[in-house]
Amino acid sequence: MNVYDFDRTIYRRDSEVDFFFYELRKHPGLLRYLPKQCVGFIKYFLKIIDKTAMKSNFYCYLKGVRNIDSEVSSFWDEYQNNIHSWYPSRHRDDDIVITASPEFLVAEGCRRLNIPTCLGTPVVKEKGYIDGLNCHDTEKVRRFVEAGFDPDSVEEFYSDSYSDQPLRDIARKGYLVRGEELVDWQ
């Protein structure tokens, strides 16, 4: 099986940021959540809170999004053209995506790409907070194993970030994604 990060790997940009600005364009009233988001960013950069808490502050705007599933679907209608051109030729039926972005958001993108398994940050989309840990770094490997996958079964791993080294370590081969270019990751 092949395992992929999602943002800046299969998807050219950052899906959670794109979704936020997509929602802001459609619903400018969501700006009312900006003060809480800014406080979360400041606390994170001052090392008062961790990344999971900061991202929970960021996701608070989701409380103001009505019909979230419909919004996610319409987002992917507009943004699915941001998939890297190299991905379809590498696609396998047993591909897995493991991402720090919200699972509810990326799962729809994966469904459209016929990727059967998407593991992401568990966000309670109706309430706008993370219920668990941010799916990042070693948490990605933990979630992979917890989902019942064998770490020895990863043939290739693809990511744009060295922070995914723990997943690279369990794969037989790794690739760093640099735009449309795939670079061997030793």
**Is residue 171 pLDDT above 90, yes or no?**
yes
What pLDDT does 186 receive? Answer: 86
Counts of helices then strands in the chain (DSSP H, E): 8, 8
**Whose CA is closest to 34, among 59, 8, 17?**
59
Which tens digit of pLDDT belongs to each residue from 91-122? 999 999 999 999 999 999 999 999 999 999 99
Rounded average pLDDT over 119-132: 96
Number of domain units in the chain: 1
**Is residue 42 pLDDT above 90, yes or no?**
yes
Domain that holds residue 91: 2-184
Interatomic CA distance for residues 98 and 61, integer angstroms:
24
Indicate the length of the chain as a whole number.
Answer: 186
What pLDDT does 69 receive? Answer: 97
Counting residues of the chain whose pLDDT is more than 70, the rounded percentage is 100
The CATH number of the domain holding residue 178 is: 3.40.50.1000
